[in-house]
Amino acid sequence: MKAIVCNSYGPTSKLQLREVEKPTPKSNEVLIKVHFSAVNDYDWSMVRGEPKLYRLLFGLFKPKHPIPGMELSGVIESCGDEVTKFKVGDAVYGDISAHGFGSFAEYVAIHENAIVRKPEYLPFEEATALSHAANLAWQGLVDFGKIEKDMNVLINGAGGGVGSIGLQIAKTYNCQVTGVDTGDKLKAMKETGFDYIIDYKKEDFTRSGNKYDLILDAKTTRAPKAYQKMLNPNGKYVTVGGKIGRLLQIALAQHVMKKPVYIVPLDANKDLEQIHVLYESGKIKPLIDGPFSLEKTGEAIQYFGEGKHHGKVIVSIK
């Protein structure tokens, strides 16, 4: 089978499309013919081995998982003897990171708990765009943020996959939503319905004087105290990822800040049933950038890492 292979840390240009052995599923695994995959922060960090602290997870000297990729949609080609949830021919999708990686390939063998059944009304491409970003947005806004009707919400890093879905979830609660990002993303953000847009290269959004009931942060670029000043008396700050140094600051500050501060420990695929309901009713639709072809996965990861993307960056494996 064809796969994108990363045998050593370095620039995305070093990624190679190679012929590798097709995996054989273990007793509790399914073999999936991958249709689409998607680019995430994990891929950007793993390929480069940066920040170096992450090498404790990825492998000290080289990647433990030479084929990157943590999201997919596709069709089950075969099942291990102990698989009970799926059968051959089932259309599936999901964030597989809790059980492994390797979705930038024509096939992947993964534990049956790593995926969910794809509804017929949800196209493969859009399913891939929802599995990780929609869960982060839902868990950040609903599970941890306890979003309520008519709140004043700010989303930092609003031009990516989490931000675009987060906006749509917040709008189901009739919230006023401010988005923070920069560059070409601002136009797309305006078109998707943000009430207010802040270009962080032109304005320090933490010093605007505006107060918010809930902040969802996909970038975590500022110190905890800066976010505290932006919150209303009962406001909450929730981060779903970002710079490792800032995340460590947030973790240390959680128990000393006056207003609630949360880091979302993603529970992969947990909330996809709620996402299905919103999608089927037309209340959410992923913003897709791509698809890139499999051989251009390195370019897609670089494009993502430079922050040039609008919504979710998708790679077509077909």
For the CA atoms of the chain, what is the radius of gyration?
19
150 shares a domain with 45: no
Share of the chain above pLDDT 70, in %: 100
Preceding peptide of 233 cis, ω within 30°:
no
Positive/negative CA dihedral, 225, 229, 230, 231: positive
Say which CATH number the domain at 31 has.
3.90.180.10
C-alpha span between 22 and 2 (Å, rounded):
9
pLDDT of residue 31: 98
Q: Render 43-109 in DSSP notation, one character per residue.
A: HHHHHHT-SGGGHHHH-SSS-SSSS---EEEEEEEEE-TT--S--TT-EEEEE-TTT----SBSEEE
> Domain check: are 231 and 286 in the same one?
no
In degrees, rounded to 5, the angle at the alpha carbon of residue 35 between the alpha carbons of residues 10 and 73 is 90
Look over the chain and give the mean of its residue pLDDT values, rounded to a whole number: 95
> In DSSP terms, which residues pair with 17 in a beta bridge?
4
Residue length of the chain: 318
Q: What is the pLDDT of residues 256-265, one digit of tens each?
A: 888 999 999 9
Q: What angle do CA 166, 169, 174 make, to 5 degrees?
A: 120
Domain range spanning residue 90? 2-131+269-316
Split into its structural domains, the chain has a count of 2
As a whole number of angstroms, the distance between CA 253 and CA 225 comes to: 9
The pLDDT of residue 257: 86
Q: What is the pLDDT of residues 104-139, one digit of tens each?
A: 999 999 999 999 999 999 999 999 999 999 999 999
> Does residue 196 sit in the same domain as residue 103?
no
What is the mean predicted confidence (pLDDT) over 285-289?
96
Mean pLDDT, range 136-156, rounded to an integer = 98
> Residue 261 has which token pair?
């501060």
Greatest C-alpha distance within the chain? 60
pLDDT in tens, 8-36: 999 999 999 999 999 999 999 999 999 99
Q: Give the CATH number of the domain where residue 254 resides.
A: 3.40.50.720
Q: How far apart are CA 180 and CA 189, in angstroms?
A: 9
